[in-house]
Structures are given as C-alpha cells and as structure tokens.
Amino acid sequence: MIILYNSSLHKATFFLTGFQGLQDLHGWISIPFCSIYLTVIVGNLTILHVIRTDVTLHEPMYYFLAMLALTDLGLCLSTLPTALGIFWFDAREIGIPACFTQLFFIHTLSLVESSVLLSMSIDRYVAICNPLRYSTVLTPTRIVKMGLSSVLRSALLILPLPFLLKRFRYCRSHVLAHAYCLHLEIMKLACSSIIVNHIYGLFVVACTVGVDSLLIFLSYALILRTVLSIASRQERLRALNTCVSHICAMLLFYIPMIGLSLVHRFGEHLPRIVHILMSYVYLLVPPLMNPVVYSIKTKQIRQRIVKKFEFIKSLRCFWQD
C-alpha cells in the first residue's frame, strides 16, 4: 500500500496492522484482547475507587499507587480504539494527525509511568531510611508537585516528536506493524535522513528512563544498606516486604520496554509476530498486572477490596430478600 498523499499533509494516511495472515481470525482474537482491556479498566478503576473512598489509605504510598493506576488506565485507553477497531471492523486506516496524537499520548504516558515508579522508590526510601521524617518530607503538596512535574517533563520531551515526524515526506510502504502508532516505527518510513529523530529519541530515553532507572537503583542500594543494618531478621523481612510490590511493578514495566526497544533496533530478522507480541506485552502487561500485584501483595488494598465486594454481596442479598 502507498500513502494517499497530495499537497496537504493532513490527507496522508497510514495503515495499521493486526495479526498479519490471521485476518479471518480477528473476531476470535478480539475476545482475549477485550477481556484484557476490560480487566485493565476495571482493575485500575477499582484501585482508584478504593484509595479515594477509604480515608485510611490517604497516605503518600497510596497516592503514588493512584498515580500509577491513572497512568496505566490512560495507556490502555490510548491504544484501545485502534486495536479493537481493527479486530472488530477491520478499520486499518488512520490519518497522520490522529496517528501523531496517539503516538504523543502513548510515549508521554510511558515516560510518566517511569517517573511515577521513581517517585514510588523515593517513597520507599524515605519510609525505610527516614521513617520519622516520612510525613514531613512527603507532604500532600510535595506529592502533587512530583506528579505534575512527571507529567510536564514527559509531555515537553515528547512534544517535539510529532513535529520532527511532520517534516518528513513518507514515500515508502505506509503499513505499520502494530495496531497503533509508535515513533520508532513511523520514522523508518521517511524518505529522508532520520538521524535527528534517532539522536533525539535516544536523548529522551536517556533523560527519562535512563535517569529514572539509575536513581531507582541508587534508592534501593541505600534501602538495602539500611535494611542490612537492622538487627532483627523479622524487622528486615518486614521492611523488604513493603518493597516487593514496587519491585514487581518496575520489572513489569522496564523488562518489556527494553525488550521492545531491542526488537525494534536489532530484531529485523525476527518474525513479524514477535514484534507484534512484544508491543502488546509492553503496553498491556503492566496495566494488567499492576492492580493484581498490588491487590495481592498490599494487605491494606486487598482488605479494602474484599470489604467492597462483601458490601456489594450483602446489598444484593438484602434486595433479593
């Protein structure tokens, strides 16, 4: 397929791809994807509802968890329309303005998630290394500032990407490998040199994911040093147990991100299905698993969710009686 191009850039079109060669099975493939999207939405909304309605959870740790749930929810909703549009209606065509808008939100929210994970590691550092100053260091005002700065930093760094892509003329195949738009893939379709995009993309990753992961590693090195200095083995395990959920969230985010980046940059020889599956793992697994991890590993969240379901069940029994 070639681009439908005339003098106006806004009339240019890309074509999204579902599972190539399995178009006849898209109806069946949509069933697990619908289940995943529905689980992500319900799971993250449940976390947000529990934190908002339970006053005992109005603490820094849970505020950061709410930020993570909001980010995961936004990341899910940014890919849902085009992914399900392909599976249900074979709606593969997407205009460049819509494609660049989706690209902006996907990449911005990915960087926001990295920033939120860094904020959560700072929360764990203060809670374990300086517990007496916890409430004075992580005040509600400071938490709001951390959240806003995460969004602002991510949005400002990603904002140039659509404009850098807009200056290109796209004369190669305009069939994208995924059901949504990603910067690394679109820039490869340009006719002219993409060295500026490559350099700026690496700069953004280094300034965000690189710096965030380095600071997270440093915070956990300091946490580990503090925990090892605790005399009681039981107290050491209790302190480390408060970090398990966050460590799982980090692994769920950074491992698929690194894997997708490596596949895009060095995996040209790999089957197309590998690229497609890695992109879905990167965008859907963290939003899907984070609510599960925090519901299982965080006692307070688990107890509140169980109470909510018990309350709903009792109401249902009351109305049936």
pLDDT at 320: 59
pLDDT value for 260 = 79
Q: What is the pLDDT of residue 11?
A: 47
Q: Is 317 exposed, middle or buried (0-12, 13-18, 19+ CB in 10 A)?
A: exposed
pLDDT at 306: 81
The confidence score (pLDDT) of residue 156 equals 97
What pLDDT, on the 0 to 100 scale, is given for residue 312? 59
Can you name the residues that pair with 95 across neighbouring β-strands? 13
Say what the pLDDT of residue 80 is: 92
Note the pLDDT of residue 145: 96
Residue 321 confidence (pLDDT): 57
Q: Output the pLDDT for position 319.
A: 60
**Average pLDDT, 10 consecutive residues per value, the chain (321 residues):** 40 80 83 94 94 91 96 95 90 91 96 96 94 92 96 97 89 81 88 90 93 96 91 84 91 89 75 82 92 86 79 59 57
Which pLDDT belongs to residue 10?
41
